[in-house]
Chain A
Amino acid sequence: MLAEEEARIDEVDLPVKTKEQLRKFLEGKEITPSQFDQILDRVLNEYQNTRIEACEAVGIIAAQSIGEPGTQMTMRTFHYAGVAEINVTLGLPRLIEIMDARKEPSTPTMTIFLEPEYGVDRDRAREVSWQIEAAPLHEFGDITIDMENMQIVVHLNTAVCEKRKIPSSSILEVAPRKIRERRHYRDFEFEMDDKTATILFMPKDRESYQNLFQLAEHVRNVIVQGIDDIERVVVRKESGEYILYTEGSNIKDVFEVEGVDTTRTRTNNISEISQVLGIEAARNAIIHEALSTLGEQGILVDVRHIMLVADMMCMEGEVKQIGRHGIAGEKESVLSRAAFEVTVNHLLDAAVANEIDELSGVTENVIVGQPIQLGTGDVKLIAKPLN
């Protein structure tokens, strides 16, 4: 292709992707300058013709385009998403979750990518997974209840500690602190012995067996290694690198772990993404999640519709749900809001606040029984006086 032609493609008002496609198409083809002109003209024409017109009611088109295929979705699907028996909510329940902008999805999961030096080696990937997977104290040694002396004896197994790359002294230090902070149980005292890797827990109330057993329960289940919210980690090899899949999500803490690739790691918890990575990342996450949920069911919805929904949800700087606490509840028109949910409340509040309905939207006009301001209803005849 001639440099001059290249420059002309660059200049023309077309999207980047279309330009690329055009270049790829023209590559290696012998065309005369006049043919080139014609091609460029036609492409530009076609592009301008296919653009959506200003003031088109794209919202209703998006609603129909997502809603109709949505009826084909399986109502209840809880199955294993193929990824090493990690359970992920899919199908309609997941789609509803995304649109409702829930604080936490019913099955939070993360896909953790590793930095190159960790990602190629299975053992090093495993090491990172130990830093992430929540491990309770009973996995690190024996816990016995000494009823005679009213105490709980924890004897750490140093071989396990070594395998898990955590010094026994740090477990001894973390365990009592975490019981106090995370489990909110404070009625105990403890004594530790670094040399034998042993720790003794004594309840403050030395009389009650109930307290002793309660304390034993806390001691057994206190998380001493890993991130509390992440219950399980699975290491899998995919296209030449090891990737961690988790059950439970806490992107903020995972980013702090050494060896985690902070540029690719992701979670399916959208509100977490909006807090840690910002609203634009949340928009991308909504698009990605919705698209993959629909795609997984074999439903093809054009991205444009999903992008519109995601854009609406992220307009105001935070993720808003589509529903009466979000987009539908903040509509300008009273009648439109009342038509959606909790009709009486909206009408009553509007009456108290002396609200006025301009009747500019579709719903309002349908309610009062006049033509909507779209399509054929949009045309108004304006007569120009002869002189």
Chain B
Amino acid sequence: MSTRLNVLDHAMVPDHQIMTKEELTGLLSLYKITSDQLPRIYHDDPAVKTIGAKPGDVIRIIRTSHTAGRAESYRLVIKRPKK
């Protein structure tokens, strides 16, 4: 029954979206950063697997924030380093 579980439906998991190229260049130029300065997320993270993002993609996370109500955050998908 593992098909029943959709991690994105869980109350603790915020919305994850894959960003398009244009959105990403807009984001990086807004903050004047490069994509490897973003927080990371592993490629085998359950939420990443669900939306089907690949290493190198940037994910937009829409959190329900305690302070602002709604907050966007971004994470760069990377391969999980081998121990």
- Interfacial residues of chain A within 178-194, with CB under 8 A of chain B in the complex: none
The 0/1 profile, CB within 8 Å of A marked 1, for residues 1-14 of chain B is 11011110111111
CB <8 Å contact, B47 and A278? yes
Tell me if B40 counts as interface (CB < 8 A to partner A): yes
Please state if A16 and B11 are interface contacts (CB–CB under 8 Å). Answer: no
A16 touching B70 by the CB < 8 A rule? yes
User: How many whole Å from B35's CB to the nearest CB in chain A?
Assistant: 14
Closest to A284 in B: B12
Chain A residue contacts of B11, Cβ below 8 A: 263-264, 266
Query: Which residue from A262, A277, A315 sits with its C-beta under 8 Å from B46?
Result: A277
Chain B neighbourhood of A307, CB < 8 A: 65-67
Chain A residues within 8 Å of B46, by CB: 275-278
CA distance A32 to B67 in the complex (A): 30
Nearest residue (CB) in A for B68 is A15
- Contact of A258 with B by CB under 8 A: yes
Output the least CB separation between A182 and chain B (Å).
21
Query: Total number of A-B contacts with CB less than 8 angstroms?
Result: 101
Complex interface: chain A residues within 8 A of B14 (CB): 280, 284
CB pair B67 A277 closer than 8 Å: no
In the complex, the chain A residue whose C-beta lies closest to that of B6 is: A262
CA A120 – CA B70 in complex, angstroms? 33
Give residues of chain A (295-347) contacting chain B, Cβ–Cβ below 8 Å.
303-304, 307, 311, 314-318
For B61, the chain A residues whose CB sits under 8 A away are 280
B27 at the interface (CB under 8 A from A): no
Known A-B contacts A263-B9, A281-B10; the reply to A15 vs B40 at CB < 8 A is: no
A195 at the interface (CB under 8 A from B): no
Q: Are A262 and B41 in contact (CB under 8 A)?
A: no
Q: Given A315-B39, A316-B40, A318-B42: A276 and B7 within 8 A (CB)?
A: yes
Given A262-B5, A277-B7, A278-B46, residue A17 in contact with residue B12 (CB < 8 A)? no
Contact status A279-B42, CB under 8 Å: yes
Closest to A262 in B: B5
* Chain B proximity of A55: nearest CB distance (Å): 14
A284 to B10, CA, bound (A): 11
B66 and A317 within 8 A (CB):
no
Quick one: CB contact mask for A256-273 with B, threshold 8 Å, 1 for yes? 101000111010000001
Instruction: Find the A residue at minimum CB distance from B76.
Output: A317
B54 at the interface (CB under 8 A from A): no
Asked if B24 CB lies within 8 Å of chain A CBs, one says no
Q: Which residues of chain B come closer than 8 Å to A287, judged between CB atoms? A: 66
Q: Are A315 and B40 in touch, CB under 8 angstroms?
A: yes
A355 CB within 8 Å of chain B: no
Nearest Cβ in chain A — how far from B26, in angstroms? 17
In the complex, the answer to whether A285 meets B12 with C-beta atoms within 8 Å is yes
Q: Using known A-B contacts A263-B10, A281-B12, determine if residue A317 contacts B78 with beta carbons closer than 8 Å.
A: yes
Q: Is A349 an interface residue (CB 8 A)?
A: no
Interface presence of A6 (CB below 8 A)? no
- Could you say which residues of chain B place their CB within 8 Å of the CB of A284? 12-14, 63
- Residues of A contacting B10 in the complex (Cβ-Cβ under 8 angstroms): 262-264, 277, 281
Whether the pair B9, A280 counts as a contact (CB closer than 8 A) is no
A303→B63 CA distance, assembly (Å): 14
Selected contact of A304 from candidates B1, B4, B6, B67, CB within 8 Å: B67
List chain B residues, Cβ under 8 A from A15. Answer: 65, 67-71
CB contacts (< 8 Å) of B1 on chain A: these are: 256, 258
The answer to whether the Cβ of A255 comes within 8 Å of any Cβ in the partner chain is yes
A19: B residues at CB distance < 8 A: 69
Give chain A residues whose Cβ lies under 8 Å from the Cβ of B2.
Answer: 256
Known: A280-B47, A281-B7. 11 other contacts (CB 8 A): A15-B70, A262-B9, A262-B10, A266-B12, A276-B7, A277-B7, A277-B10, A278-B47, A303-B67, A316-B39, A317-B40
| Chain A residues within CB distance 8 Å of chain B | 15-20, 255-256, 258, 262-264, 266, 273, 275-281, 284-285, 287-288, 303-304, 307, 311, 314-318
List the 5 closest A-B pairs by CB distance, nearest first: A17-B69, A16-B69, A15-B68, A278-B47, A317-B40
Give me 13 A-to-B residue pairs in the complex whose CB atoms sit less than 8 angstroms apart, sorted by A's number.
A17-B67, A19-B69, A262-B5, A263-B10, A273-B12, A277-B13, A278-B41, A278-B47, A278-B48, A279-B75, A307-B66, A315-B40, A317-B39
